[in-house]
């Protein structure tokens, strides 16, 4: 689904985003991307949606080479990738329903298709009753659910979440995680960048750890920290 081959992204002489990163994420996987701030997680995600281009190396998403992809094709790439962000990135001044509908309008979906699909996805994320609300009238967790609904309404094969629980309390975070897990079970590849140690430890999924733009660990059914590093601040018996 996602292949990075010797990818480098250099912002400036002293600023390296990603350094010689090679990895392969299979279709249907659930992957945690971990690492301290500035380790290159955001760069990784921005490269995936071709917001920026790599300095060196090749990136392939869903069999499409991003290096040779023309600018005009980028919108179509993004429609095949759902994105969830820490700050939700909802369209202000639009109701929950309209925010989700926008992702469908963009693809040229018919009004009838929109009327059918939006309520469907809103009920999936548990917001059936709040379609008419404005984003500002919702709690953080609810806004993030709208964001997930919008990301998933086109049934993309890849869903990227950048610190989706970063602004949420633990209980609300679990709800969002369950949602992402369910989406993954439908066959969608999920890549989630996070700092949430507890969540990663609980889920026991593949963990890709970055540090200073370099891959330091890529482990299946893993925890946030390496076993021999010892748990920091959380009990090992979870």
Structural tokens at position 137: 């009238």
User: Cβ of residue 25: shortest distance to another protein, in angstroms?
Assistant: 20
Structural tokens at position 130: 């709040």
Kind and range of the H or E element at 99? helix 96-106
User: Cβ of residue 79: shortest distance to another protein, in angstroms?
Assistant: 4
Tell me how far apart the alpha carbons of residues 144 and 25 are, in angstroms, rounded to a whole number: 25
Nearer to another protein, 36 or 113 (CB): 113
Q: Which residues pair with 107 in a beta bridge?
A: none
User: Cβ of residue 95: shortest distance to another protein, in angstroms?
Assistant: 11
Q: What is the CB neighbour count within 10 angstroms for residue 129?
A: 10
Nearer to another protein, 13 or 108 (CB): 108
Q: What angle do CA 25, 190, 154 make, to 5 degrees?
A: 120
User: Cβ of residue 172: shortest distance to another protein, in angstroms?
Assistant: 22
Tell me how far apart the alpha carbons of residues 214 and 23 are, in angstroms, rounded to a whole number: 11
Tell me how far apart the alpha carbons of residues 25 and 47 are, in angstroms, rounded to a whole number: 15
Nearer to another protein, 104 or 205 (CB): 104
Report whether 144 contacts 48 (CB < 8 A).
no
Tell me how far apart the alpha carbons of residues 145 and 155 are, in angstroms, rounded to a whole number: 15
Residues near another protein (CB under 8 A) are: 49, 51, 72, 75-79, 83, 89-94, 102-103, 105-108, 110, 150
Nearer to another protein, 49 or 124 (CB): 49
Q: Tell me, what DSSP letter sits at residue 227? A: G
User: Cβ of residue 8: shortest distance to another protein, in angstroms?
Assistant: 22
Nearer to another protein, 153 or 199 (CB): 153
User: Cβ of residue 230: shortest distance to another protein, in angstroms?
Assistant: 39
Tell me how far apart the alpha carbons of residues 103 and 10 are, in angstroms, rounded to a whole number: 32
Report whether 157 contacts 189 (CB < 8 A).
yes
């Amino acid at each position: 689904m996602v292949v990075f081959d010797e990818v480098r992204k250099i912002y400036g002489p002293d600023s390296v985003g990603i350094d010689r990163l090679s990895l392969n994420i299979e279709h249907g996987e659930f992957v945690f991307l971990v690492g301290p701030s500035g380790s290159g997680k955001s760069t990784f995600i921005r490269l995936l949606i071709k917001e920026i281009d790599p300095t060196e190396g090749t990136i392939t998403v869903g069999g499409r080479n991003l290096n040779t992809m023309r600018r005009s094709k980028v919108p179509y790439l993004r429609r095949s990738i759902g994105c969830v962000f820490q700050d939700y990135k909802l369209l202000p001044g639009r109701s929950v329903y309209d925010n989700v509908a926008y992702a469908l309008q963009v693809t040229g979906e018919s009004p009838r298709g929109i009327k059918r699909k939006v309520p469907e996805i809103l009920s999936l994320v548990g917001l059936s009753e709040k379609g008419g609300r404005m984003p500002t009238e919702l709690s953080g967790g609810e806004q993030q659910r709208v964001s997930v609904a919008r990301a998933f309404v086109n049934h993309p094969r890849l869903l990227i979440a950048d610190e989706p629980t970063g602004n949420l309390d633990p209980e609300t975070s679990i709800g969002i995680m369950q949602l992402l897990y369910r989406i993954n079970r439908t066959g969608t590849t999920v890549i989630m960048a996070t700092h949430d140690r507890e969540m990663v430890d609980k889920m026991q999924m593949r963990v890709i750890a970055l540090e200073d733009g370099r891959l330091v660990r890529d482990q299946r059914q893993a925890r946030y920290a390496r076993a021999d590093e010892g748990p920091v601040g959380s009990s090992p018996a979870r």
